[in-house]
Amino acid sequence: MSVIQSEEGNDIVQASTLDTFTSALSISPSAGIDPVMVHVLYGCSKDLGLSALRLGFLVTRNAMLKESCRRISTLPWVSSFSDKVFTAFMSDHDFASAYIQQ
């Protein structure tokens, strides 16, 4: 796996399946795609192999979608343990990069 830096942040991808990669979050409005219609879902289980944390994320610029998801979500809030572990993991750039490369 490799971390690919985009203007919007890091995207974690399987290097063996892609020769080149462009983050959906870096698509410019000048490309003819409305940024409000671009949504990215990812989770720790598949992307990072951290299934015990049970964390998933929605990245969107669409306020109506974000509010709708918030209202219908039946999932509990993230536990303080998961929050602290994931924050520490992602904050230690050297460790996170080494972990992802394995």
Number of independent structural domains in the chain: 1
In a domain, 61, yes or no: yes
Q: Please count the other Cβ atoms lying within 10 Å of the Cβ belonging to residue 91.
A: 9
In a domain, 7, yes or no: no
* Whole-prediction pTM: 0.60
In a domain, 20, yes or no: no
In a domain, 19, yes or no: no
8 Å CB contact between 39 and 60:
yes
Interatomic CA distance for residues 4 and 19, integer angstroms:
12
Owning domain of residue 70: 31-101
In a domain, 9, yes or no: no
In a domain, 47, yes or no: yes
pLDDT in tens, the chain (102 residues): 444 445 554 555 444 455 666 777 787 778 888 888 888 887 877 667 777 777 888 889 899 999 988 888 766 678 888 888 888 988 998 988 888 777
Interatomic CA distance for residues 42 and 21, integer angstroms:
16
In a domain, 55, yes or no: yes
Q: Please count the other Cβ atoms lying within 10 Å of the Cβ belonging to residue 20.
A: 5
